[in-house]
């Protein structure tokens, strides 16, 4: 196992697939990173030298937002919508679907997810 930007990547995977384990790096960005370093994207991550791995991590940290930075930006944007008191902010605050999904039958999943995200654990229902 190789650690790149505090993410545990498998040595048995191809380089471009292993880079997609990092939150914020997709297939397109991983192929761009491989091209900029001159690495073949189909080589195994375990076959890369430590120098190549360190250059990978340097390019990722300098050119791409990953992990905690992206999550922080998303959370700030949601708080901005709530503070502006726009329609999307109300939907986020109530834990309802934001982008026009139906609520007659399947809004329960969104409500469960919002309840888990706000408190960190399930709330006990007391009637």
15-31 confidence digits (pLDDT tens): 999 999 999 999 999 99
pTM: 0.70
| Residue 48 Cα distances to 3, 13, 15, 79, angstroms | 13, 12, 9, 42
Residues 60 and 66 sit within 8 Å (Cβ to Cβ): yes
Structure tokens at 81: 């919508």
Q: What is the Cα–Cα distance from 66 to 5, expressed in whole angstroms? A: 9
| pLDDT at res. 126 | 47
Q: 30: number of CA atoms within 13 Å, CB side?
A: 20
| pLDDT at res. 127 | 40
φ and ψ at 44, to 5 degrees? -75, 150
Domains of the chain: 2-63 (1.10.8.50), 68-118 (4.10.910.10)
Token pair 């008191």: residue: 85
Q: What is the Cα–Cα distance from 40 to 4, expressed in whole angstroms? A: 18
pLDDT digits 0-9 by tens, 59-71? 999 999 998 999 9
């Amino acid at each position: 196992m190789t650690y790149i930007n505090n993410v545990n990547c498998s040595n048995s995977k191809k380089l471009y697939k292993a880079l997609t384990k990092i939150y914020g790096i997709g297939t397109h960005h991983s192929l761009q990173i491989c091209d900029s370093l001159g690495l073949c994207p189909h080589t195994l991550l375990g076959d890369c030298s430590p120098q190549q791995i360190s250059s990978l991590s340097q390019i990722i940290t300098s050119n791409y937002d990953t992990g905690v930075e992206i999550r922080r930006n998303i959370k700030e944007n949601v708080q901005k919508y709530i503070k502006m008191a726009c329609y999307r902010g109300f939907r986020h605050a109530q834990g309802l679907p934001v982008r026009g999904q139906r609520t007659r039958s399947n809004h329960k999943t969104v409500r469960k997810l919002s309840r888990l995200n706000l408190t960190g654990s399930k709330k006990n229902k007391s009637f």
